[in-house]
Chains A and B, each alone.
Chain A
Amino acid sequence: MRTYYTWLCIFTTVCTAAAGDVLVALAMRRIGDLGEVRRRHGFFAILVRVFSSGILFGGVFFMAIAFFSNLIGLSWADLSVVGPASAALTFVTNALGARFFLHENVDRRRWLATIFVCLGVLLLTWS
């Protein structure tokens, strides 16, 4: 039964982490390059833009769910199971989210990099 709960936790972590990453990326794209904003308008302008972004808070909310789900998963199963499974799957779901929701140009180079990193993380942590 604990295995079932562990995989439920991993599934929740992967989905909410991807939703959080996509929403935060969308918010930061709309806010603009923070270095550029600071140079033109000062540090205070960054704070105003960041704290007035509803999309950003939505992303942080999903990231918080992913964080607690990961903590619960770590308390039920070994880091060697929860770590690689959620990290590797998050790479793939983020690439899909970026492709379909952010309309990023996920070309062959980026898919190749995602797959290499995904397999590398699996080998590294599942030994």
Chain B
Amino acid sequence: MTLRKYLVILSVVFFGSVGDAFLARGMKHTGAIDIHHLSNVFTALANPFVIVGIFFLLAFMSSYMTALSFADLTYVMPATAISYVVMVLLSIFWLHEHVSPQRWAGVALIVIGVGVVAGGPSRTEHPAAQVPARGLKERV
């Protein structure tokens, strides 16, 4: 894993957590959606918080796709779970919220999980993966 690859993983964490925060706030403004009028979910798309959240999630998607191009899904998923820890730290230092011992235990478990997966290889080597990617062979 190079520095560039760690930065890609970090950008997945950043864009994902900020995007989720904007979406959650936007949906609180929109209110409950009736089961018989599910199409009303599209009205949420007019909410500015939801719009900003979608832009962040588009950035998340592109960095997530980049991460999956060089690492396994079972590596990327736990590694990017550090975003939950970032959100707890933000709630302490930015929103001055109280964090219960139960939530600290959750933070500890996530940090251990991320540490466990980050110590292993990021990619499963398949025989097919050693063949040059589509389009590379004919141009070399």
Question: Which of B4, B24, B116 has the most A CB atoms < 10 Å from its CB?
Answer: B116
B120 and A107 form a contact (CB under 8 A): yes
**Which residues on the B side are within 8 Å of A94 (C-beta)?**
73-74, 77
Contact residues of B: prevailing secondary structure: helix
Contact residues of A: prevailing secondary structure: helix
- Complex: chain B residue closest to A94, CB-CB: B77
Pick from B27, B109, B120: contact of A116, CB under 8 Å: B109
Q: A81 at the A/B interface (Cβ < 8 Å)?
A: no
- Complex: chain B residue closest to A30, CB-CB: B134
Pick from A31, A72, A105: contact of B124, CB under 8 Å: A105
B33 and A109 form a contact (CB under 8 A): no
Q: A37 at the A/B interface (Cβ < 8 Å)?
A: yes
How far apart sit A120 and B114, CA to CA, in the bound complex (Å)? Answer: 11
Known: A104-B124, A110-B75, A121-B81. A79 touches B69 (CB 8 A): no
Q: B110 at the A/B interface (Cβ < 8 Å)?
A: yes
**Which residues on the A side are within 8 Å of B112 (C-beta)?**
116, 120
A117 and B114 form a contact (CB under 8 A): yes
Q: B107 at the A/B interface (Cβ < 8 Å)?
A: yes
Pick from B77, B88, B126, B135: contact of A91, CB under 8 Å: B77
CB distance from B136 to the nearest CB of A (A): 6
Instruction: Render A85-97 as a binary contact track against B, CB cut-off 8 A, 1 for contact.
Output: 0000001001101
Known: A104-B124, A109-B117. A91 touches B78 (CB 8 A): yes
- Complex: chain A residue closest to B132, CB-CB: A32
B136 and A32 form a contact (CB under 8 A): yes
The residues in B between 61 and 116 inclusive whose CB is less than 8 angstroms from any CB of A are 61, 64-66, 68-70, 72-75, 77-78, 81, 84, 88, 100, 102-103, 105-114, 116
| 8 shortest interchain CB distances as A-B pairs | A32-B133, A124-B106, A116-B113, A120-B109, A123-B106, A120-B110, A113-B117, A117-B113
Instruction: Tell me the A residues contacting B by CB distance below 8 Å.
Output: 5, 21-22, 24-25, 28-37, 40-41, 45, 49-50, 56, 60, 63, 67-68, 71-72, 74-76, 79, 91, 94-95, 97-99, 102-107, 109-110, 112-117, 119-125, 127
